[in-house]
Amino acid sequence: MALSEQERKLLEQLEASLTAEDPKFADTLSGSSSIRVHRRRAAAAGLAFIAGVVVLVIGIPVHPVVSVVGFLLMLGGALVGINSWRRVGGDEDGQPSQGPQQGKPRQPSASSQDFMDKLEERWRRRQQGDL
């Protein structure tokens, strides 16, 4: 059911007054602040990953411990970045979104179906003693 023009204007006025009175609360309700936080975190993790690669490469001639630190920096950056990026693509409540394959039974492909049919036919012949 669509809103009338008057209802739409009233709703816009309410939103504007809420934003003027308490912008932090309005930002929380819109859900955009958590997305921005996770985007920033993912960007920082990407920079940490690149810094880890640089430290790893520079640490090879200097000392092996420096290379290990660079690898750990890369690993930490990758883990934080992947986790944050999943939340950016998630729902408003911060939960990761379900992929298209989750929750749906997987349909077998034609080649795997043919393979299964052949196995079932062999099994039937073996049970009947025709092998």
pLDDT digits (tens, 9 = 90+) for 52-91: 999 999 999 999 899 999 999 999 999 999 998 887 765 4
- The 10s digit of each residue's pLDDT in 20-34 is 888 777 766 666 667
Residues 106/112/114/118 CA torsion (nearest 10 deg):
-110
Residue 36 included in any domain: yes
Q: How long a stretch of residues is the chain? A: 131
Calpha distance 26→14 (Å, rounded): 11
77, 48 in Cβ contact below 8 A? yes
Amino acid 32: pLDDT: 63
Residue 113 included in any domain: no
Stretch (H or E) spanning 66: helix 64-88
Residue 71 included in any domain: yes
Full domain range(s) for residue 28: 16-90
Domain count, the chain: 1
Q: Is the pLDDT of residue 1 over 70?
A: no
